[in-house]
C-alpha cells in the first residue's frame, strides 16, 4: 500500500536542530516514515481509508514527540492519498461480497423463523376450528385459480369437505380457466 502524506514542521531551536542530529531534514523524513508504518500496522484498511483525520492527529503526536528534542515542532500532518494494490482491492471486494451474502442469509433465516412461527400460530387456531380451516382452504383454492396459468393441487379430502363435486370436475375447472383466461366455470356449467 502506498500512502502519501504532507508534514508541516517548524524549527524553533536552530542550535538543537543542528547539533542533535546530523541532518534534521532527513531525520524528520525518517521519523515520519517510521511513524507512518507504525500507525498503518496498527489499523485496519477500512480505518485507514475512512479515518484519515484520526490518523493525521496520531501521526502528528508521534512525530512531534520524536522531533521535539531536536528543537523542531510538527505543526500538522495530512494524509493526501492512499493507493491500494489491485490484488488487495480484489480481496477486499470478495470479502465485502461474502459479507453481503452472509447478511442476506441471516435475514432469510430470520424471515423463515418468523414465517414458521406464523404457521405454527395458524395451525393452533385451525386445530379446534374446522370451519376456519375449511374457509382458508377455499380461499387458497380461489386465489390459486385466479392466477392465469396456475396449477392448483388440492388433496381429495379437501375437495370432499368443500362439496365441489368430483375431482375430475375440479381439474376441468382449472383447465378451462387457464386455457380461456376467463373466470372459472362453476361445476353446474359442465
pLDDT at 190 over 50: no
pLDDT digits (tens, 9 = 90+) for 18-49: 888 888 899 999 998 888 888 888 877 777 77
Specify whether 6 is located in the same domain as 62.
yes
- The residue out of 28, 51, 84 marking a domain boundary is 84
pLDDT at 169 over 60: no
- The residue out of 128, 153, 181 marking a domain boundary is 128
Residues 65-93 as b or e (16 or more Cβ within 10 Å = b): ebbeebbbbbeebebeebeeeeeeeeeee
Number of domains in the chain: 3
Specify whether 124 is located in the same domain as 135.
no
How far is 10 from 28, CA to CA, in rounded Å?
11
Domain interval for residue 55: 2-84
CATH number, position 15: 3.30.479.30
Amino acid at each position: 500500500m502506498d500512502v502519501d502524506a504532507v508534514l508541516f514542521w517548524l524549527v524553533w531551536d536552530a542550535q538543537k536542530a543542528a547539533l542533535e542530529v546530523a541532518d534534521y531534514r532527513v531525520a524528520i523524513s525518517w521519523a515520519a516514515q517510521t511513524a507512518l508504518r507504525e500507525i498503518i500496522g496498527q489499523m485496519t484498511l477500512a480505518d485507514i481509508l475512512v479515518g484519515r483525520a484520526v490518523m493525521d492527529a496520531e501521526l502528528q503526536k508521534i512525530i512531534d514527540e520524536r522531533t521535539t528534542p531536536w528543537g523542531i515542532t510538527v505543526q500538522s500532518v495530512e494524509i493526501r492519498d492512499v493507493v491500494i494494490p489491485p490484488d488487495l482491492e480484489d480481496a477486499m471486494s470478495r470479502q465485502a461480497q461474502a459479507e453481503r451474502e452472509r447478511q442476506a442469509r441471516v435475514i432469510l433465516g430470520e424471515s423463515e423463523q418468523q414465517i414458521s412461527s406464523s404457521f405454527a400460530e395458524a395451525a393452533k387456531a385451525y386445530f379446534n376450528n374446522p370451519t376456519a380451516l375449511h374457509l382458508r382452504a377455499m380461499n387458497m383454492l380461489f386465489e390459486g385459480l385466479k392466477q392465469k396459468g396456475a396449477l392448483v393441487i388440492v388433496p381429495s379430502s379437501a375437495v370432499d369437505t368443500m362439496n365441489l363435486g368430483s375431482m375430475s370436475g375440479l381439474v376441468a375447472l382449472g383447465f378451462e380457466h387457464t386455457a380461456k383466461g376467463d373466470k372459472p366455470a362453476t361445476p353446474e356449467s359442465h
